[in-house]
Amino acid sequence: MGRGRTAVNAILLLAALSGAIAVGAGAFGAHGASGAAVEWLKTGAHYQLVHAVAALVALRFEARGPAWLFLAGGAVFAGSLYLMALDFPRWLGAVTPIGGTLLIGGWLWLAWIGARG
Protein backbone atom coordinates (compact mmCIF):
# COMPACT_ATOMS: atom_id res chain seq x y z
CA MET A 1 0.00 0.00 0.00
CA GLY A 2 1.51 3.34 -1.05
CA ARG A 3 1.68 6.59 0.86
CA GLY A 4 -1.18 8.02 -1.22
CA ARG A 5 -3.49 5.16 -0.31
CA THR A 6 -2.51 5.48 3.35
CA ALA A 7 -3.40 9.19 3.30
CA VAL A 8 -6.75 8.44 1.69
CA ASN A 9 -7.49 5.79 4.32
CA ALA A 10 -6.47 8.18 7.13
CA ILE A 11 -8.73 10.94 5.80
CA LEU A 12 -11.61 8.49 5.42
CA LEU A 13 -11.11 7.18 8.96
CA LEU A 14 -10.82 10.64 10.51
CA ALA A 15 -13.80 12.00 8.57
CA ALA A 16 -15.94 9.09 9.76
CA LEU A 17 -14.81 9.56 13.38
CA SER A 18 -15.36 13.30 13.09
CA GLY A 19 -18.92 12.70 11.89
CA ALA A 20 -19.59 10.30 14.76
CA ILE A 21 -18.21 12.76 17.33
CA ALA A 22 -20.34 15.54 15.85
CA VAL A 23 -23.52 13.48 16.11
CA GLY A 24 -22.69 12.57 19.71
CA ALA A 25 -21.94 16.18 20.64
CA GLY A 26 -25.15 17.35 19.02
CA ALA A 27 -27.17 14.73 20.86
CA PHE A 28 -25.56 15.68 24.16
CA GLY A 29 -26.33 19.32 23.45
CA ALA A 30 -29.97 18.47 22.71
CA HIS A 31 -30.55 16.14 25.63
CA GLY A 32 -27.92 16.50 28.34
CA ALA A 33 -26.55 20.02 28.43
CA SER A 34 -27.92 23.30 29.69
CA GLY A 35 -27.14 27.00 29.49
CA ALA A 36 -24.47 28.24 27.10
CA ALA A 37 -23.19 24.67 26.66
CA VAL A 38 -26.22 23.85 24.51
CA GLU A 39 -25.30 26.45 21.89
CA TRP A 40 -21.59 25.61 22.00
CA LEU A 41 -22.34 21.95 21.40
CA LYS A 42 -24.89 22.72 18.68
CA THR A 43 -22.53 25.07 16.84
CA GLY A 44 -19.53 22.77 17.19
CA ALA A 45 -21.49 19.74 16.02
CA HIS A 46 -22.86 21.60 13.01
CA TYR A 47 -19.47 22.82 11.82
CA GLN A 48 -17.73 19.54 12.54
CA LEU A 49 -20.32 17.46 10.70
CA VAL A 50 -20.42 19.75 7.67
CA HIS A 51 -16.65 19.69 7.41
CA ALA A 52 -16.41 15.91 7.86
CA VAL A 53 -18.62 15.63 4.78
CA ALA A 54 -16.62 18.37 3.02
CA ALA A 55 -13.44 16.36 3.66
CA LEU A 56 -15.00 13.32 2.01
CA VAL A 57 -16.11 15.38 -0.98
CA ALA A 58 -12.64 16.93 -1.29
CA LEU A 59 -11.15 13.44 -1.08
CA ARG A 60 -13.43 12.32 -3.91
CA PHE A 61 -11.86 15.03 -6.07
CA GLU A 62 -8.36 14.02 -4.92
CA ALA A 63 -7.96 17.30 -3.03
CA ARG A 64 -6.18 15.89 0.02
CA GLY A 65 -4.80 19.22 1.25
CA PRO A 66 -8.22 20.84 1.65
CA ALA A 67 -9.54 17.61 3.19
CA TRP A 68 -6.84 17.74 5.87
CA LEU A 69 -7.62 21.41 6.57
CA PHE A 70 -11.34 20.62 6.90
CA LEU A 71 -10.58 17.88 9.42
CA ALA A 72 -8.02 19.88 11.40
CA GLY A 73 -10.13 23.02 11.38
CA GLY A 74 -13.23 21.10 12.42
CA ALA A 75 -11.34 19.47 15.29
CA VAL A 76 -9.91 22.75 16.57
CA PHE A 77 -13.11 24.78 16.05
CA ALA A 78 -15.53 22.22 17.46
CA GLY A 79 -13.10 20.81 20.01
CA SER A 80 -12.61 24.18 21.69
CA LEU A 81 -16.38 24.66 21.91
CA TYR A 82 -16.90 21.13 23.24
CA LEU A 83 -14.27 21.66 25.93
CA MET A 84 -15.89 24.92 27.04
CA ALA A 85 -19.25 23.11 27.17
CA LEU A 86 -17.60 20.58 29.51
CA ASP A 87 -16.54 23.39 31.89
CA PHE A 88 -12.98 23.79 30.70
CA PRO A 89 -11.62 27.35 30.91
CA ARG A 90 -13.40 29.96 28.80
CA TRP A 91 -10.11 31.21 27.36
CA LEU A 92 -10.39 28.23 25.01
CA GLY A 93 -12.83 30.40 23.08
CA ALA A 94 -9.76 32.27 21.84
CA VAL A 95 -8.66 29.07 20.08
CA THR A 96 -11.93 28.68 18.16
CA PRO A 97 -11.05 31.27 15.45
CA ILE A 98 -7.88 29.31 14.65
CA GLY A 99 -10.10 26.40 13.67
CA GLY A 100 -12.32 28.74 11.67
CA THR A 101 -9.28 30.07 9.83
CA LEU A 102 -8.25 26.52 8.92
CA LEU A 103 -11.77 25.83 7.63
CA ILE A 104 -11.75 28.97 5.49
CA GLY A 105 -8.31 28.00 4.22
CA GLY A 106 -9.66 24.61 3.18
CA TRP A 107 -12.47 26.21 1.21
CA LEU A 108 -10.13 28.70 -0.46
CA TRP A 109 -7.65 25.94 -1.33
CA LEU A 110 -10.49 23.86 -2.80
CA ALA A 111 -11.66 26.89 -4.82
CA TRP A 112 -8.10 27.38 -6.10
CA ILE A 113 -7.94 23.74 -7.18
CA GLY A 114 -11.27 24.16 -8.97
CA ALA A 115 -10.12 27.35 -10.69
CA ARG A 116 -6.96 25.63 -11.92
CA GLY A 117 -9.00 22.92 -13.59
Instruction: Give mean pLDDT, residues 76-94.
Output: 96
Question: For 9-21, how does the pLDDT look when each residue is reduced to its tens digit (9 = 90+)?
Answer: 999 999 999 999 9
Question: For 40-63, how does the pLDDT look when each residue is reduced to its tens digit (9 = 90+)?
Answer: 999 999 999 999 999 999 999 999
**In this prediction, what percent of the chain has a pLDDT beyond 70?**
98
- φ, ψ at 28 (rounded to 5°): -65, -40
pLDDT of residue 1: 54
Residues 6 or more apart in contact with residue 90 via CB below 8 angstroms: 84
Provide the whole-model pTM.
Answer: 0.94
Say if residue 84's pLDDT is above 70.
Answer: yes
| Stretch (H or E) spanning 30 | helix 3-31
Mean pLDDT of the chain: 96
